[in-house]
Amino acid sequence: MFIETVALLAVIAFLFYKWLIAKTNYFVDRNVKYDKFIPILGSFKDLFLRKKSFNDMIIALHRKFEGEKIVGIFDNNNPAFLIRDPEIIKKITVKEFDHFINHRSFLEPDNSGLFGLSLVTLKNQKWKDMRSTLSPAFTGSKMRLMFDLIREVSEQGAKFLLNHKDINTGVELDIKPFFTRFTSDVIASTAFGIKTDSLVDDSNEFYQMGKTVTNFTAFQNLKFFFSVNFKLLARLFKMRIFDQKYDDYFIRLVTDAMKYRKEHNIVRNDLINILMDAKGMSVSENGAKPLGDWTDEELVAQCFLFFFAGFEGVASAMAFAAHELMANPDIQKRLIREIDEVKVNLNGKPVTYEVLHKMKYLDAVVNETLRKWPGGPVLDRVCNEDFVVDDVHNKKVIIKKGEIVFVPVAGIHYDPEFYPNPEVFDPDRFYETTNDINEFNYMPFGIGPRKCIANRFALMETKAILFNLLSDFTFRQGEKSHIPMELESKGFQIKAKYGCWVKIVKNNTPEHEKWMNS
The reported pLDDT for the residue numbered 504 is 94
- Pairing assessment for the beta strands 404-407 and 397-399 based on DSSP bridges: unpaired
Say what the pLDDT of residue 290 is.
44
pLDDT band for position 291 (50/70/90)?
Answer: very low
Residue from 80, 118, 85, 125 nearest 101 by CA: 125
State the pLDDT at residue 240: 67
Instruction: Report the pLDDT averaged over residues 84-113.
Output: 85
pLDDT over 50 at 286, yes or no: no
Query: Domains of the chain: which residue ranges?
Result: 2-516
Average pLDDT of every residue of the chain? 85
Q: Is the pLDDT of residue 241 over 70?
A: no
pLDDT top residue among 326 and 434? 326
Number of CB atoms found within 10 A of residue 217's CB: 10
pLDDT at 97 over 90: yes
Gap between the Cα atoms of 296 and 275, Å rounded: 10
What does the pLDDT look like over 297-346, one tens digit per residue?
Answer: 888 888 888 888 888 889 999 999 999 999 999 999 999 999 999 999 99
DSSP string, 373-421: S-S-S-EEEE-SS-EEE--SSS--EEEPTT-EEEE-HHHHHT-TTTSSS
Span 450-467, pLDDT tens digits: 999 999 999 999 999 999
CATH topology of domain 2-516: Cytochrome p450 (1.10.630)
DSSP 38: -
Question: Highest-confidence range of 210-214, 218-222, 307-311, by mean pLDDT?
Answer: 307-311
Beta strands in 249-378 (DSSP E): 282-284, 287-289
DSSP calls for 126-162: HHHHHHHHHGGGGSHHHHHHHHHHHHHHHHHHHHHHH
pLDDT beyond 80 at 366: yes
* Cβ–Cβ < 8 Å for 92, 118: no
* Residue pLDDT, tens place only, 46-71: 887 888 999 999 999 999 999 999 99
User: Residue 109: its pLDDT value, please?
Assistant: 56
Which range, of 35-49, 279-293, 405-419, averages the lowest pLDDT? 279-293
At 452 the pLDDT is 92
Q: Determine the pLDDT at residue 238.
A: 65
DSSP bridge partners of 5: none
Question: What is the pLDDT averaged over residues 162-175?
Answer: 87
Q: Is the Cβ–Cβ distance between 119 and 134 less than 8 Å? A: yes
Determine the residue type at 91.
K
Q: What is the pLDDT of residue 182?
A: 92
Taking residues 364-371, report their average pLDDT: 97
Buried b or exposed e, range 385-420, using 16+ CB within 10 angstroms: eebebeebeeeebebeeebbbbbbbbbbbbbeebbe
Q: Is 281 helix (H, G, I), strand (E, B) or coil?
A: coil
Interacting residues of 391 by C-beta distance below 8 A, sequence separation 6+: none
- Greatest CA span in the chain, whole angstroms? 90
383 or 153: which leads in pLDDT: 383
When pLDDT is cut at 50, 70 and 90, the band that residue 16 belongs to is low
Instruction: Quote the pLDDT of residue 471.
Output: 94
Predicted local distance difference test score (pLDDT) of residue 284: 36
Q: CA-CA distances (angstroms) from residue 170 to 44, 162, 447, 476?
A: 42, 10, 41, 9
- Residue 398 host element (H or E): strand 397-399
Tens digit of pLDDT for each residue in 475-518?
Answer: 999 999 999 999 988 777 788 999 999 999 999 888 888 888 88
Containing 71, the helix (H) or strand (E) segment is strand 70-75
pLDDT for 283 equals 35
Residue 435, pLDDT > 60, answer no
- Tell which wins on pLDDT, 88 or 514: 88
- 19-28 average pLDDT score: 74
For residue 490, the tally of other CB atoms under 10 A from its CB is: 15
Inform me whether the pLDDT recorded for 296 exceeds 90.
Answer: no
What percent of the chain clears pLDDT 90, i.e. is strictly above it?
A: 45
The predicted model gives 382-409 an average pLDDT of 90
- For residues 97 and 89, is the Cβ–Cβ distance under 8 A? no
Q: So what's the pLDDT on residue 261? A: 82
- When comparing pLDDT for 372 and 150, which is higher? 372
